[in-house]
Amino acid sequence: MLLQRATWPGVQAYLERSQGVVIPIGSTEQHGPTGLIGTDAICPETIAAGMAEEDILVAPTLSIGMAQHHLAFPGSITLRPTTLIALVRDVVSSLASQGFTHFYFLNGHGGNIATVQAAFAEIWAEHSLAGRASGLKLRLANWFMGKRVLALGSELFGDAEGAHATPSEISLTWHAYPEAERQAAMSPKRAPSGPIRDASDYRQHFPDGRIGSDPSLASRAHGQRLYEAGLADALADYQAFLATH
């Protein structure tokens, strides 16, 4: 069930059978010469759409995240960490006020991890400092770290998976949007690796936007397999999460 295509009586009825909700979260940032700027949002959104067919409520995607280091590339948009913390708190608080207890953030961007965990810490602190139990269960799951996805990515791409604009994530977006499939000349074939600092430094060290990856290995066919692996990982992990009390 997709929240944006549900009615309030439909959500009320859902709450009687489940108090869990999936919230896809991503980023809006360059993904090299061939990757879509929405890659990090599209990937978890696509997998979550599959979860929605299993009578799991899926909230609208939080599609802008932590991308300051990509701002030297046109089209990238970032929030400040404090803004994302406030966004996550407000989304959780809204749905918690109606009876939701289990919040499963399906994440597509490694750069979001620290800040979303900080948001969870803020939510816990708010309740602890007030001396009350929240009853809330909060989980951040990275689709690209699922065991089936990791095994398949390793089998398909080996070391060429890299860290940013990876063939795995780009393949998955092409599964979702086949018309986006494209190739471009990239040199070196496999991008350099190194630490991430600010936007100016990033563009200097990673001039075409990639880190450690060879996205020329991406394909729609690989994307189909990665989708199936990602959905299986997410469904298993979500069901285990729902069982936690």
Binding of Ni ion by 161 (CB under 5 A):
no
User: Least CB distance from residue 70 to Ni ion, whole Å?
Assistant: 10
**Which positions ≥6 away from 230 have C-beta within 8 Å?**
43, 47, 143, 146, 148, 149, 172
User: Among 18-26, 35-43, 88-96, 185-193, which window interacts with Ni ion (CB under 5 A)?
Assistant: 35-43
For 128, phi then psi, to 5°, come to -65, -40
Give the range of 37-45, 46-54, 180-188, 198-206 binding Ni ion by CB under 5 A. 37-45
Q: How far is CA 101 from CA 47, 92, 118, 186, in A?
A: 22, 9, 19, 46
Residue 69 Cβ vs Ni ion, minimum distance, rounded to whole Å: 12
Helix, strand, or coil (residue 33): coil
Q: Quick one: 88 or 211, whose CB is closer to Ni ion?
A: 211
Residue 168 CB burial class (10 angstroms; 0-12, 13-18, ≥19): buried
Tell me the closest approach of the beta carbon of residue 1 to Ni ion, in angstroms. Answer: 27
Report the C-alpha gap between 69 and 201 in whole angstroms: 8
- When the beta carbons of 27 and 101 are compared against Ni ion, the nearer one is 27
CA–CA gap between residue 208 and residue 70 (Å, rounded): 11
- Binds Ni ion (CB under 5 A): choice among 40, 208, 214, 233: 40
Residue 40 or residue 233: which is nearer to Ni ion going by CB? 40
Residue 184 makes CB contacts below 8 A (sequence gap 6+) with 33, 34
Q: Which residue's Cβ has the minimum distance to Ni ion?
A: 40
Cα 14 from Cα 56, distance rounded (Å)? 9
Residue 198 CB, nearest approach to Ni ion (Å): 18
| Minimum distance from residue 192 beta carbon to Ni ion (Å) | 17
Judged by CB under 5 A, the stretch of 64-72, 77-85, 90-98, 163-171 that binds Ni ion is: 163-171
Count of residues in the chain: 245
Q: How many residues bind Ni ion (CB under 5 A)?
A: 3
Interface segment toward Ni ion; rule CB under 5 A; list 88-96, 98-106, 167-175, 217-225: 167-175
Which residues are at the interface with Ni ion (CB under 5 A)? 39-40, 169
